[in-house]
Amino acid sequence: MTDRLLKDLADIVRSKNAGPYRITFDILFKDRERYEAVRGTGAIRPETVAAAYGIAVSEVSSFFEIDMANAIKITIRRPRAQGSSGDGDMYGCQHHVPLMLIRVPVA
Amino acid sequence: MAAITVLTPTGTLGYGFGDEALARGMALGPAVIAVDAGSTDPGPYYLGSGKPLVSDVSIKRELTALIRAGRRAGIPVIVGSAGGAGSGVQVDRTAALVRAIAREQGLRFRLATIRSDIPIERAKRAVAAGEIVDFEAGTPLTGKILDETVALVAQMGHEPICAALEGGADVIIAGRACDDSVIAAFPIWRGADPALAIHMGKILECGAFSAEPFAMDVMLGTLDSDGFLLEPGSLARRASVKSVAAHSLYERENPFRQSGPGHEIDLSGCRFEQVGDRQVRVRGARLAETPDYCVKLEGARLAGYRSIAIAGIRCPTTIRALDGILADVREKALAYFAPAPLGVVFHVYGRDGVMKELEPETAAQREVGLVIEVTAGDQELAHAACHQISGAMLHYHYPGVVNTSGNLAFPYSPSDLDLGPVYEFSAYHLMKADSPTELFPIQYEDL
């Protein structure tokens, strides 16, 4: 068993604004087997995602494992509202990298 | 119920679609063309300023193709969130383009415009009556915030659009509308199950983003009493269970529950089924009406005027000293222009320009791109402060400086650029409505 990066196990890892006050992350897997393998490790949880971004777990507003889509979905509160002073990513679509680089103990 | 096909030409009106995909889609016999033209996604500027998200050139070109196709087939064309934010001035601008199209193409039809502007006094009465709750803004809406708000709209549901269809409209230009309501209105007006129609709307509203390969292009949904069937207009694309399921997650927080005006949709029992190579059948959405009919308010207020300077930094000693330099020039600018308040932000690209405090990586940079951003009460002051900061940084002396001739590589002359007014969201709250249509007046015009 070796650690692998989430990006090498998932088909899609993406981030996007969900309204002006949230950024939502989707992780989609090619098939049920891969999805269940990653889900089963517990490497992708509110705690690990919060740690990857250096935020408190309370800033994770929701976490879903979606069997029908072979997907995991995490949403966080934006540090500042979309388009307000200091915001650097209007669509929140370039916030996926720390998630993509989370290590998952899967063969 | 006879099956009803909705054709959605693209994810955002003005962002394009294939002519062949439209022709093929129209050959499949849709009962309506429905398309979304905006959202809050591009930020608060379009609501605050009233400027259009997409150019008149693109909107007119695409509306011409859609209205011609709609008139030829004798089916309505519905546009929601006109102009980008759906404010009155944006509805007017889009309606003016429709009148020009009718004139130039020699077409006769009934145009309906639906406004979604909420008078500030109406919202204040709701605040006083305790009929407004926060959605996600994190703070309550107050009379003071409403006084500062320069543009306030509410998202309409399908009901005002159904009313315009009932009024005989051939082309409907609607203000701010729930993306899914724009697509769902016609089927619901014809008696379809609102749960299925709204779920279909959620998927179709992004056009062929739910297909593979995804694109801003034509997508069709055919609704019957049991579910709906999705198919892209272009034969170069297909709908797959994976592409449709993935899209069900896109840019929304909860994949199982979706709130809309007057209702909540439960998607936990949804099933996707591949039909042939290019179609996906969806069933299982359920709808519950909410006790109160609430609409989502979206407001913007003026946050000031902005000037920016863009520069590159290549010298390793400057990059190492950067945090100290930025803190010092900011402090000096604030003191120099006091008591006028300034907002000074530095975007340091190559380091943490995109993610700011969420950036976990700390590797040293070979080169950084710097955007100096100043927001002030007027444009002249913003420009003056921005130039003061960029000039101070250019000739800043710091311990260990090797190159004494300048710290910033400017790509432009002038170095300081005025970006005009800056807006921020002021309202993102739910307001109780007396009825689904009371806030959204319709006007008809026979062209």
Q: Is B179 on the interface with A (CB under 8 A)?
A: no
Across the interface, whether the CB atoms of A88 and B347 are under 8 A apart is answered yes
Strands (E), B148-215: 149-154, 171-174
Cis? peptide before B339, omega within 30° of 0: yes
Distance CA B87, CA B51 (A): 10
- Looking at chain B, the whole-number percentage of residues with pLDDT higher than 70 is 100
Distance CA B339, CA B343 (A): 13
Of B31, B24, B36, which Cα lies nearest the Cα of B6? B31
What pLDDT sits at residue B421?
Answer: 97
Helical axes B56-73 vs B88-105, angle rounded to 10°: 60
Distance CA A9, CA A38 (A): 8
The whole-number average pLDDT for the span B65-86 is 98
pLDDT confidence bin for B248, thresholds 50/70/90: confident
pLDDT confidence bin for A1, thresholds 50/70/90: low
Distances in whole angstroms, Cα of residue B116 to Cα of each of A49, B11, B154, B228, B436:
39, 21, 6, 29, 12
What pLDDT sits at residue A84?
Answer: 87
Of B8, B426, B365, B326, which Cα lies nearest the Cα of B181? B8
The whole-number average pLDDT for the span B398-415 is 94
pLDDT confidence bin for B1, thresholds 50/70/90: confident
**Nearest C-alpha in B relative to A31:** B242
Q: Is the pLDDT of residue A107 over 90?
A: no
When the pLDDT of each residue in chain A is averaged and rounded to a whole number, the result is: 94
**Three-class SS string for B313-376?**
ECCHHHHHHHHHHHHHHHHHHHHHHCCCCCEEEEEEECCCCCCHHHCCCCCCCCCEEEEEEEEE
**Option in A54, A64, A68 nearest B245 (CB):** A68
pLDDT tens per residue across span B50-59: 999 999 999 9
pLDDT confidence bin for B252, thresholds 50/70/90: confident
What element of type H or E holds B225?
A: none
Chain B hits for A21, Cβ within 8 Å:
136-138, 428
pLDDT confidence bin for B247, thresholds 50/70/90: confident
When the pLDDT of each residue in chain B is averaged and rounded to a whole number, the result is: 96
pLDDT tens per residue across span B17-33: 999 999 999 999 999 99
CA–CA min distance A92, chain B (Å): 9
Q: Is B291 on the interface with A (CB under 8 A)?
A: no
**Option in B137, B253, B425 nearest A24 (CB):** B253
Interface pTM, i.e. ipTM: 0.92
Question: Phi and psi (nearest 5°) for B160?
Answer: -65, -35
Q: Is the pLDDT of residue B357 over 80?
A: yes
**Nearest C-alpha in A relative to B306:** A85
Distance CA B257, CA A62 (A): 12
Across the interface, whether the CB atoms of A85 and B355 are under 8 A apart is answered no
User: With 0-12 CB in 10 A as exposed, 13-18 as middle and 19+ as buried, what is B327?
Assistant: exposed
pTM above the 0.80 mark?
yes
pLDDT confidence bin for B440, thresholds 50/70/90: very high
On the CB side of B118, CA atoms within 13 Å amount to 33
Q: Is B250 on the interface with A (CB under 8 A)?
A: yes
Contact B273, B280 (CB under 8 A): yes
**Option in B252, B272, B356 nearest A24 (CB):** B252
Q: Is the pLDDT of residue B16 over 70?
A: yes
| Block residue for tokens 């049920």 | A32
Contact B128, B155 (CB under 8 A): no
**Option in A19, A24, A79 nearest B358 (CB):** A79
Contact B325, B392 (CB under 8 A): no
Q: Is B257 on the interface with A (CB under 8 A)?
A: no
Chain A hits for B373, Cβ within 8 Å:
85
Distance CA B389, CA A78 (A): 28
Lowest mean pLDDT among B250-259, B296-305, B316-325, B398-407: B250-259
